[in-house]
Amino acid sequence: MTEPPRPPGAGDPGFQPDPAAPSGVPGPSGFEEPTTPLSGAPAPGGYPPPGGYPPPTGDQPPTGGYPPAGGYPPPGAGYPAGGGYGPPTGGYANNEDKNWALIAHFGGAVGVIVGGGLLGWLAPVIALMVRGQQSPTVRAHAVAALNFQLTWTIVGVLSWVLTLITCGVLFFVPMLVWLVPLIFGIIGGIKANEGVLYRYPMTYSFAK
């Protein structure tokens, strides 16, 4: 076994090692390994140093890894039940409000059929008087239907006058006018059933 190299003069009597001189010996990897004083042999324990690594600092993740202990929260935690937001009746505070909104729209279409295009305004007026004072939602639906039906009631009256003036030549004009509030009243009712306030086209705002 080859003796490790010693500093010059190490065998002389009274030799004192130089504190500034390197105290290690080359290891298998080419780097110096720590040695015991004056022996030249590698220090026991190797690498890492005795005692292990220093404790983790604040920049390192906490012990236990990721995800945190306990796992992820259960699906749906923190979200409203039922898969959506708002009232379960589709934008209405209760079923009574929804029913009166449907009466305002569908009732207008029925009034057009029963009254020959002249009574479509009746159902929205009833919904506005009965429930519109307690529910702003019903009031908004009733006012929208009322303004539309009043507008086309006036147009329907003018069409009948035009038919009389022409001695029935333009008899088809009241029929065409009669279809408009009927079709759009049904559309408004379908939208109200979905919780949507339908904005009627070709409407003059009589009530607000």
Provide the residue ranges of all domains of the chain, joining segments of one domain with +.
95-193
CA distance 95 to 20: 92
Predicted confidence at residue 11, as pLDDT, reads 57
Which residues of the chain have a pLDDT value below 70? 1-90
Predicted confidence at residue 84, as pLDDT, reads 37
Predicted confidence at residue 200, as pLDDT, reads 96
Nearest to 139 by CA among 83, 101, 86: 101
83-93: pLDDT as tens digits: 333 344 457 88
Give the bridge partners for 72, in sequence order. none
> 44: which 2 tokens?
């026991």
